[in-house]
């Protein structure tokens, strides 16, 4: 099949991408002089442009090249949460690694209160950044909709709910949680509790769903008295563990929806002279450095937190290069890492 354009028809961006063997966003970045393209891909695109005699649309190019060469990584959490939760540092590391070979500048913005949210609103309204990466989203957060109305390219780490329209990258949270609970049930544990994350976050709801699904697979009706909501903090994990033991003193296992909360649960179990794993088995989620340093070391679901950071960055660079690019939803696999706690 000939790669030449039909007579009388202007070659398209898609035709250049097909001939060069790259994505549409890569062609757009080359045409507009944007960062984030390898030398090999750039050469292939330039050769295809020359062969097809492709001429960019001047109006579209003018729109796209009005750039700041910076992106914002927005985390609506406090400094203490940012410092204590290894997930955030891993995501930040992934973002910065993916940007290392580009000319993009990364701005880290914490939104801790109403005043800081209003400041961020003014900042993006003035188009001071080319795009936004948003981490730790809650179901009722209106910031993603605001960014969408402004046509600011935006990619989420996680999602607000099922059916999230914006591009996002998340772990297989329900599948990872189900794998953890299957592991506990397979050991003969009969009262497997769970400490959830905030249930106004999709990640919290999905990990609770995985707990329920693992029970249902065995024909067991999930006992809701074994569910204790928390907030992804160590203190919250300890308080939830205390509440569970008061309600169900005979429980013999707990799945905590984060390693940090699992560490709090271990502290409470130790304070009550419960042996781990002999009396109560414990599994966390994240497989962070926390899991390797608890006593005993924590069995945990590994999620690729750093790859989440890299993936959201790749998606955002593509959307900055091509504002009309279709949104993408990426789910990354999880695996169970076994240690002494379960």
What is the CATH number for 35?
1.10.260.40
How many Cα neighbours within 13 Å face the side chain of 165? 6
Q: Within this chain, do residues 238 and 309 fall inside the same structural domain, yes or no?
A: no
How confident is the prediction along the chain (342 residues), in pLDDT tens digits per residue?
Answer: 344 444 456 788 788 889 999 887 788 778 776 667 888 888 898 898 888 888 766 545 544 556 788 999 999 887 777 788 899 999 999 999 999 888 889 999 988 888 888 888 888 888 889 999 999 888 888 889 888 888 899 999 999 999 999 999 999 999 999 999 999 999 999 999 999 999 999 999 999 999 999 999 999 998 999 999 999 999 999 999 999 999 999 999 999 999 999 999 999 999 999 999 999 999 999 999 999 999 999 999 999 999 999 999 999 999 998 888 899 999 999 999 999 999
The pLDDT of residue 3: 45
The pLDDT of residue 209: 98
Would you say residue 25 lies in a domain? yes
Would you say residue 339 lies in a domain? no
Would you say residue 262 lies in a domain? yes
Q: Rounding to the nearest 10 degrees, give the CA dihedral for residues 298, 236, 187, 215.
A: -140
Measure the CA–CA gap between 9 and 308, rounded to whole angstroms: 41
Q: Within this chain, do residues 207 and 236 fall inside the same structural domain, yes or no?
A: yes
Neighbours of 59 (CB within 10 A): 8
Q: Within this chain, do residues 55 and 45 fall inside the same structural domain, yes or no?
A: yes
Domain span at residue 23 reads 13-64
- Are 134 and 144 within 8 A, CB to CB? yes
Would you say residue 187 lies in a domain? yes
Instruction: Look up the pTM and report it.
Output: 0.79
Would you say residue 280 lies in a domain? yes
Measure the CA–CA gap between 309 and 90, rounded to whole angstroms: 7
Query: ∠ CA 149-154-159 to the nearest 5 degrees?
Result: 100
- Number of folded domains that form the chain: 3
Measure the CA–CA gap between 283 and 8, rounded to whole angstroms: 65
Q: Mention every residue, 6+ apart, whose C-beta is less than 8 A from residue 271.
A: none
Q: Could you say which DSSP state residue 212 is in?
A: H
Q: Where are the beta strands (DSSP E) in 175-288?
A: 192-196, 227-229, 253-256, 281-286
Would you say residue 283 lies in a domain? yes
Q: Within this chain, do residues 112 and 100 fall inside the same structural domain, yes or no?
A: yes
Give the CATH number for residue 156: 3.40.50.2300
The pLDDT of residue 59: 47
User: CA dist 202 to 1, 158, 192, 222, 315, Å?
Assistant: 47, 7, 22, 20, 20
Helices and strands, counts by H and E, the chain: 14, 12
For residue 277, is the peptide bond before it cis, meaning its omega torsion is within 30 degrees of 0?
A: yes
Would you say residue 2 lies in a domain? no
For residue 117, is the peptide bond before it cis, meaning its omega torsion is within 30 degrees of 0?
A: no
Q: Within this chain, do residues 232 and 121 fall inside the same structural domain, yes or no?
A: no
């Amino acid at each position: 099949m000939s790669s030449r354009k039909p007579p009388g028809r202007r070659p398209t961006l898609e035709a250049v991408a097909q001939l060069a063997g790259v994505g549409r966003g890569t062609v757009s970045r080359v045409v507009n002089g944007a960062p984030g393209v390898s030398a090999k891909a750039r050469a292939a695109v330039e050769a295809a442009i020359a062969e097809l005699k492709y001429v960019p649309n001047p109006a579209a190019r003018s729109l796209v090249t009005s750039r700041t060469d910076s992106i914002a990584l927005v985390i609506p959490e406090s400094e203490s949460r940012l410092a204590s939760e290894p997930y955030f540092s891993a995501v930040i590391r992934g973002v910065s690694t993916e940007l290392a070979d580009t000319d993009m500048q990364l701005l880290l913005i914490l939104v801790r209160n109403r005043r800081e949210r209003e400041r961020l609103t003014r900042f993006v309204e003035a188009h001071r950044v080319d795009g936004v990466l948003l981490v730790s989203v809650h179901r009722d957060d209106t910031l993603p909709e605001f960014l969408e109305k402004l046509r600011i390219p935006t990619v989420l780490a996680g999602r607000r709910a099922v059916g999230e329209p914006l591009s996002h990258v998340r772990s297989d949270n329900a599948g990872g949680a189900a794998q953890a609970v299957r592991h506990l049930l397979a050991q003969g544990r009969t009262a497997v509790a769970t400490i959830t994350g905030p249930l106004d976050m999709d990640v919290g709801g999905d990990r609770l769903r995985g707990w329920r699904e693992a029970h249902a697979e065995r024909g067991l009706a999930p006992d809701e008295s074994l569910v204790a909501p928390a907030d992804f903090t160590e203190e919250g994990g300890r308080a939830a563990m205390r509440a569970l033991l008061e309600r169900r003193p005979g429980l013999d296992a707990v799945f905590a929806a984060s390693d940090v909360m699992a560490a709090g649960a271990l502290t409470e179990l130790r304070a009550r002279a419960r042996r781990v794993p002999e009396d109560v088995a414990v599994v966390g989620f994240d497989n962070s450095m926390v899991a390797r340093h608890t006593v005993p070391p924590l069995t945990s679901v590994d999620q690729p937190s750093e790859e989440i950071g890299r993936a959201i960055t790749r998606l955002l660079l593509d959307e900055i290069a091509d504002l009309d690019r279709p949104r993408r939803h990426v789910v990354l696999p999880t695996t169970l890492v076994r240690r002494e706690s379960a």
